[in-house]
A and B are shown apart, each in its own frame.
Chain A
Amino acid sequence: MTRELLTGNAAAAWGARLSDVDYVPAYPITPQTEIIETLARWIADGALRARLVTMDSEHSMLTAAGAAAATGARVFTASSSQGLVYGFEMLYSVAGWRVPLVLVNVSRALASPITLEPDHNDVLAARDSGFLQLHAETCQEVLDSVLMAHRLAEHREVLLPAIVNLDGFHLSFTREPVDVPPPDAVRDFLPAYAPPSARFAASHATAQGVAVLGSSAYSFFKYQMQRAAEAALDVQATVADEFAARFGRRYGAVEACMLDDADYVVVMSNSFSTVGKAEVGRLRAAGERIGLLRLRLIRPFPHGEIARLLTGRRAVAVIDQNLSVGKGGILFAEVASALRGPGAPPLVSFVGGLGGRRFRSDEFDLIADRLRVAVTEGGSAEPHLLFSEAEHRQILDMLRLAGHAAPEA
């Protein structure tokens, strides 16, 4: 095992290289491009025996990825933001083909307005497509998740594609120490892909992706996907155990941080959880019995695990780095759906981190205050939109510069 300083993008590329992928259909987009550049270099050097083809769009890229996987190749691809939503039609299509490809999404907020820094509206838009979703906090977790995603997706009871998500800039371009496992050990953990019987070859004609007429056949195949995703919960636990035994790092469906005696819990995901953990530690040092639950496996959604860890707490805040306009935080609604019956804590919703916006320390003080209030006054589905006085003043200045009269504060 070698320890290297890797960006999140380089860690994703190492994940693909160690997975010994056969095929990489590609299309550049910031902040993902370093992944495909790295893989292209390795393929040119002969370090990775695969073919990389630059397609004409993410829609074509996902089509090629799915078709190659349906032919029996192990496929890796990567995208981000506008690219992911440009290819959106094919997310549903290839998931329905039941092909176990792995897509790394480097989160970036969606236009309009067009921007570069991360939030999770891009990847969460894909949450209903049939792709499994693993959301990573660190560069190490990015590499490890790519290996585990291939194992999970290729499992005979699963056979669904998987997305590994990392935050643009904050992870994609941040170097962290990463243990790069030896190729032999990865080969033992992830043997060469042996596709199921439905693949394209001269000796056995097969029709894939065919139309259905009538709702029964349609429902049947969609329900099969649901059952496969449910099975992926158990498979993920087994894969995580085996990964921990081989490589010494354990990844659950969720990560419990300082939860043992916590009265209050904040729920977060992805790289900003690192900030959340530090803030929760600070609040703990000041005497708050507070902890953090990080959502890692978004699809399948670990309802049971979340209910087990949150039931009985005094109050829970979900911090969403996304905004379902007209609803609020997407993960708030998902977490709320897991918590019913006796002991279900009151829930409060916060939206922050949009377009890469940093969380401020005093915002976690505010969250702690609201959690205390929720114990007596109950929770609310109404999202708190985090924005500071200083930011507001800055925007008013910009509006004046742009020739607009500043609206009343």
Chain B
Amino acid sequence: MPLRREIYRSIKDIPREEYLAGGTGLCGGCGGLLALRLFHKALGPNAVFVNAAGCLTLLAVFPFSPFRSSWLYTAMASAPAGAQGIRDALDVLIAKGRLAQEEDLEVVVVTGDGAAHGIGLQATLAAIHRGLDFYYFCYDNEAFANTGFQTSPASPRGSATATAPAGSPARKQDLFGLWRAAGPAFLATVSPAYPLDLMDKVARASRIPGPKLFVSLSACPPGWGVDPADSVEIAKLAVDTGVWPLKEMRDGEVVHTVVPHRTLPVEEYLRRQARYRHLFEPSRRDDVLRELQAEVDRYWATPPR
């Protein structure tokens, strides 16, 4: 049973306030930036974003920051540890009366999939295990995109990257599942193509103390080989073909917040992206296409609960 939206029921409920200004140095059509903008609207202005190396590191380049909130760049591996330090310092300073309660901030880790898997997973699982009261926003563009789109653990099987021109060899690592095993308070997948779903999840999470984690499938126009203007449409196709399930976990239970009709085959999502072109040209790879469709069908046959 899909969740009923609680706060963001119509596009008119989205606040007009912008906390993340335009005109940044990021690529046109960046799905990560669009999702973060919506995320920030739902979170409100009193936040500090703790960043690990990745595309979004280029948001704050001296002497500019597009945020009306605060920012700390840490390193590739340890943004969740930076969040721990800020959260603890705010708590201690408020408890000791050296900082007013109204100066408190929401602490948000923001990384790509490259820093969320592998190098940064240890610090993340540790922060979840400690029950740190923080948000984690992962923009998953399915590669090390900032360095020119090399295969990451989040690259789907068959997707071409700069280090796997014939297609990434392994299945996409399940970040939702890895994070879930550590026992966070709240966990969700989101998509910039479903802004009400995204923002309602942030609103629900904001009432819960502890680790609150979000992973957004985020189209990368130069890496995926799509027109920047089609970024949202691609994101929508990922959800509607069942490739990117929208779900959340609260109290240990997973609920799918959007259940796609899946009237379109996965192929419709794949064929729009240059990173899958080798599955269609010079000859059609029906074997691989069937396997990729089967993976999605298997997921929806017994979705996690």
Which of B99-107, B203-211, B258-266 lies at the interface with chain A?
A: B99-107
Taken together as a complex, chains A and B put the C-alpha atoms of A141 and B299 apart, in Å, by 63
Q: A67-B85, A210-B61 are in contact. Are A51 and B78 (CB under 8 A)?
A: no
Q: Which of B102-158 contact A (CB under 8 A)?
A: 102-105, 122-123, 125-126, 130
Closest to B53 in A: A211
A192 located at the interface, meaning its Cβ lies under 8 Å from any Cβ of chain B in the complex: yes
Which of B35-43, B67-75, B185-193, B239-247 lies at the interface with chain A?
A: B67-75
Shortest distance from the beta carbon of B46 to any chain A beta carbon, whole Å? 4
Q: Which of A97-111 contact B (CB under 8 A)?
A: none
Taken together as a complex, chains A and B put the C-alpha atoms of A113 and B84 apart, in Å, by 34
From the candidates A23, A56, A90, A211, name the one contacting B73 in the complex (CB within 8 A).
A211
Determine whether the beta carbon of A63 is less than 8 Å from that of B61.
no
Determine whether the beta carbon of B89 is less than 8 Å from that of A23.
yes
Which of A70-78, A305-313, A372-380 lies at the interface with chain B?
A: A70-78
From the candidates B62, B91, B105, B122, name the one contacting A202 in the complex (CB within 8 A).
B105
From the candidates A50, A69, A202, name the one contacting B46 in the complex (CB within 8 A).
A202
The residues of B that contact A212 with a CB separation of less than 8 Å are 61-62
Determine whether the beta carbon of B102 is less than 8 Å from that of A202.
yes
From the candidates B50, B80, B83, B85, name the one contacting A65 in the complex (CB within 8 A).
B85
Q: How many residues of B contact A (CB 8 A)?
A: 46
B86 located at the interface, meaning its Cβ lies under 8 Å from any Cβ of chain A in the complex: yes
Determine whether the beta carbon of B75 is less than 8 Å from that of A57.
no
Q: A55-B81, A56-B126, A67-B74 are in contact. Are A201 and B89 (CB under 8 A)?
A: no
Shortest distance from the beta carbon of B39 to any chain A beta carbon, whole Å? 17
Closest to A211 in B: B61
From the candidates B65, B78, B86, name the one contacting A210 in the complex (CB within 8 A).
B65
Determine whether the beta carbon of B70 is less than 8 Å from that of A200.
yes
Shortest distance from the beta carbon of B106 to any chain A beta carbon, whole Å? 10
Determine whether the beta carbon of A207 is less than 8 Å from that of B77.
no
B218 located at the interface, meaning its Cβ lies under 8 Å from any Cβ of chain A in the complex: no
List 9 A-B pairs, Cβ < 8 Å: A23-B88, A56-B122, A60-B80, A60-B126, A63-B78, A207-B60, A210-B60, A210-B61, A213-B62
6 smallest A-B Cβ distances: which pairs? Answer: A67-B85, A60-B81, A56-B126, A64-B85, A71-B89, A68-B85
- Residues on B lying within 8 angstroms of A by beta carbon are 46, 48, 50, 57-58, 60-62, 65, 67-75, 77-86, 88-93, 96, 98-99, 102-105, 122-123, 125-126, 130
